[in-house]
Structure 1
Amino acid sequence: MSFGGFPDEGLVFYEGLEADNSKTYWTAHRAAYEASVRAPMTALVEELAPEFGAAKVFRPYRDVRFSHDKTPYKTHQGAVVTPEGRGAGSWYVQISAEGLVASGGCWRLESDQVARYRRAVADDVQGPRLASEVDRLQAGGWEIEGDRLVRVPAGFSADDDSIDLLKHRSLYATRHWTPEEWLHTPAALDRVRESWRDLVTLNAWFADNVGATTKEARPRR
């Protein structure tokens, strides 16, 4: 199946799900989700795979075990690409009633990865490389986000030129488009492809300087 755009029916489906996040609504409208959300998302990432790698298309169900919010379904459909062997630095795409999102970087880092990230930021070569890339992305309209400490991290000074980056425990760039006619056409694929290409340098920095965690995976409860 080739990607032809995200049908408006998919956005309407999510508008309804936001109003009625219940099994009753989901069961009655699941066919719309499969045809107008999951199928086009799968087609989109399959067309991107030759350049960026195979994607994981996320399940529509929320993990509510440890959440106060017990609504059972996600109100968006996301997919992520983390190329094998890189360890850190991923590409992400999401569709919802609010429109399309393209993103890249690191959303969650383990403690050993955070330590390597901060050593790289403090490095005289790697730190300026990241700072320059963040500045370039912001100038191009990207939002730089991520989990950040309020205080100065241990071992560093508040006077450090890179203190804003050093406070990050995760860092990623995001671009958002509200729904317009092009979203329902193959042009949406071009927007995501061009955006992901713009994030190649950021993801390469994470792959080179942070890499995979060495911590053992915690058992699922």
Structure 2
Amino acid sequence: MTFAGFPVAALDFYDDLEVDNTKTFWEEHRHVYDEAVKAPMVALTAALEDEFGPAKIFRPYRDVRFAKDKTPYKTHQGAFVAVAPSTGYYVQVGAPGVRTGVGFYQAPPARLASFREAVDHETFGVGLQRILGRVERQGWTVGGDAVKTAPRGWSADHPRIDLLRHRSLTLGREHGFAPYVHTAELLDHVRADWRAGKPFIDWILTHVRG
């Protein structure tokens, strides 16, 4: 299948799922998910595989074992290309439209410690600040999970304390309901976004161990 964009039906499907997140709705509309959501996502990531690597298409079911919210289905479809532990490229479609991202996610303690050591390094840390500043000027949002105060062992006066507080660090770009999300042109936008995020990924690959 050649990627031709996400049909309007994909966004409508998630609009409806947010209202009626039940097994009955899912079973009645499973064909819409398969045809309008999953198949285009598989085609999109396949078209990017030669440059970025194979993607994992996430399952549509939520893990509700320890969650207060017991609704059974995710209200978006994501795909992730892992290039290192907890690190890679992301694309998502859901009711709010399409978003792309790159990130350093859910790092185990040793890898998180290595990340913070690299942020602390005068040259490497400043290099990361420059990368993040550049993508923010291009319209990306810097996010991720962070502790509220200085991590144990680090001074609150550290010049890069905002980065040291992060337990994960992500870059996201919203495409929303732009007309091109329903066309093959979206492939070019996702490719351009992932290329723009590659300096961040390369920084992680170079400086973070574990």
Q: Provide TM-score, normalisation by structure 1.
A: 0.92
Tell me if the contact between 1:152 and 1:158 (Cα under 8 Å) persists in the aligned partners: yes
SS of equivalent residue, structure 2 residue 122: coil
Which residue is equivalent to 1:175? 173
Shift of 1:61: 0.5
In 2: Cα distance, 1:103 partner to 1:79 partner: 10
Match of 2:52 in 1: 52
After superposition, the Cα gap between the structure-2 partners of 1:200 and 1:163, relative to the gap in structure 1 and judged at 3 Å, is: same
1:154-179 CA distance string (max 9 Å, x none) = 22222211111111111010001221
CA positional deviation for 1:12: 0.8
Q: Which runs of 4+ in 1 moved over 3 A?
A: none
Query: How is 1:55-94 mapped onto 2 (pairs within 5 angstroms)?
Result: 55-83=55-83, 86-94=84-92
Question: Offset of 1:49 from its aligned partner?
Answer: 0.2
In the alignment, what sits opposite 2:32?
A: 32
Q: How much is the aligned-residue C-alpha RMSD, in angstroms?
A: 1.0
The AA in structure 2 aligned to 1:81 is V
| CA separation of 1:88 and 1:24: change in aligned 2, threshold 3 A | closer
Task: Give the alignment partner of residue 192 of structure 2, picking from 194, 197, 200.
Answer: 194
CA displacement at 1:195 relative to structure 2: 0.2
Report the equivalent of 1:102.
100
Q: Distance in 2 between matches of 1:156 and 1:179?
A: 42
Distance 1:190 1:8 in 2: 19
1:158 alignment partner in structure 2: 156
Cα distance in 2, alignment partners of residues 64 and 10 from structure 1: 24
Normalising by the residue count of structure 2, what TM-score does the alignment of the two structures yield? Answer: 0.97
What is the CA–CA distance in structure 1 between the aligned matches of 2:142 and 2:44, rounded to whole Å? 25
In 2, the alpha carbon distance for the partners of 1:118 and 1:178 equals 33
Could you tell me which residue of structure 2 aligns to residue 204 of structure 1?
Answer: 202
Any gaps of 5 or more consecutive residues in structure 1? Answer: 213-221
Cα deviation code 1:8-61 (max 9, x no counterpart): 011111111111000000000000100000000000000000000000000101
**Structure 2 CA distance for partners of 1:92 and 1:211, relative to 1, 3 Å:** farther
Report the Cα offset of residue 182 of structure 1.
1.1
- Identical positions, percent: 44
Could you tell me how far apart the structure 2 residues matched to 1:145 and 1:4 are? Answer: 30
Give the aligned partner of residue 124 of structure 2. 126
- Is the 1:142–1:173 Cα contact (8 Å) retained in structure 2? yes
Following TM superposition, by how much is the alpha carbon of 1:205 offset from its aligned partner in structure 2, in angstroms?
1.0
Q: Which residue of 2 aligns with 1:112?
A: 110
In the TM superposition, residue 93 of structure 1 has moved relative to its aligned partner by 0.2
| Distance across 2 between alignment mates of 1:117 and 1:130 | 11
- The aligned amino acid for 1:79 is A
Is the CA contact 1:53–1:81 (under 8 Å) kept in the aligned structure 2?
Answer: yes
Partners of 2:103 and 2:10 lie apart in 1 by 27
How far off its partner does 1:88 sit?
4.6
How many residue pairs get aligned? The number is 210
CA-CA distance at 1:187 after TM superposition: 0.9
Unpaired segments ≥5 residues, structure 2: none
